[in-house]
Structure 1
Amino acid sequence: MKLIFLKSPISLILLVVFSTHLSAQEGVVTIEQDNDITKLLEYKKDVKTVDLYKIQLDFGSRSEAESLKIKFQNTFAEWPAEMVYETPNYKVWVGNFSTRLEADIALLEIKKKFSKAMVFEPKKED
């Protein structure tokens, strides 16, 4: 019986002594990547392969759309604005939102200044 009690403290002490000398392995990972991969990823971002959402501010004549676009850019610099012609009107579109939720969050902010704004999903060009 005494032998069991002697073994437990000794094994505990040995465990503590040896565990202080243990350490995890350390290493450095280097990634070598061809420059063409980076170019390809940038190209892929530009290609319209994903569903995007935009916000349309309003539509009307060319002069109305230009002034609306300038007013928007002066108010909100964080989202890009573009003027698009669809017969017979010029439209001002804002942003390239990857999700509907992202577009709706931006719409809440934009509607404070541009009450006619609405979210839509533009037709894909084939």
Structure 2
Amino acid sequence: MRILAPKKMIIAAFVATFFYTSSSAQTGNINIYQDEKIPKLLEIKTEMSKENQIGDRYKIQLFYGDNNEASEVYKEYTSQFEYPAIIDYETPNYKVYVGNFRNRLEADRALLAIKEAFPGAFIPKPKRK
């Protein structure tokens, strides 16, 4: 058996110590504590997003006026196009809105197709909620 020189023994000791400390440092545990309100807040945000209550969304307004005419416009629109439409009551008129577009570009593209059948359609400025 061969005995190492003192310099080589010191270097070997440093190398062995380095590998031991670096390998033991990787075995630590991480504990993450989450506030119990976070899942409830995420659920509320999801519901609000589905009901279009948050964020700036673009819609196309087809009509405003009385209820009977709004219903007729709604029926005519749904027979021709696939974008979702709603009738919304804002005192004293009923309004027919189309879509829930994330950006102005999507709304403009849809408006080009819709304007052929509904020339009075336009994109109102979105309301901040």
Relative to the length of structure 2, the TM-score reads: 0.60
Relative to the length of structure 1, the TM-score reads: 0.62
What is the rounded CA distance, in whole Å, between the counterparts of 2:102 and 2:44 in structure 1?
A: 20
Equivalent residue for 1:29?
none
Alignment of 1:42-53 (within 5 A): 42-43=46-47, 45-46=49-50, 48-53=53-58
Q: Does 1:90 align with 2:90?
A: no
Equivalent residue for 1:110?
114
Alignment of 1:1-126 (within 5 A): 42-43=46-47, 45-46=49-50, 48-77=53-82, 79-125=83-129
CA RMSD of aligned residues (A): 2.3
Larger CA Rg, structure 1 vs 2: 2
Q: Percent of counterpart pairs with the same letter? A: 43
Instruction: Give the paired residue count.
Output: 90
Q: Deviations over 1:46-69 (max 9, x none)?
A: 263221000000111100000100
Please tell me whether the aligned partners of residues 48 and 124 of structure 1 are also in contact (alpha carbons under 8 angstroms): no
Please tell me whether the aligned partners of residues 62 and 118 of structure 2 are also in contact (alpha carbons under 8 angstroms): yes
What is the rounded CA distance, in whole Å, between the counterparts of 1:89 and 1:45 in structure 2?
A: 26
Contiguous gaps of at least 5 residues in structure 2: 1-39
Contiguous gaps of at least 5 residues in structure 1: 1-35
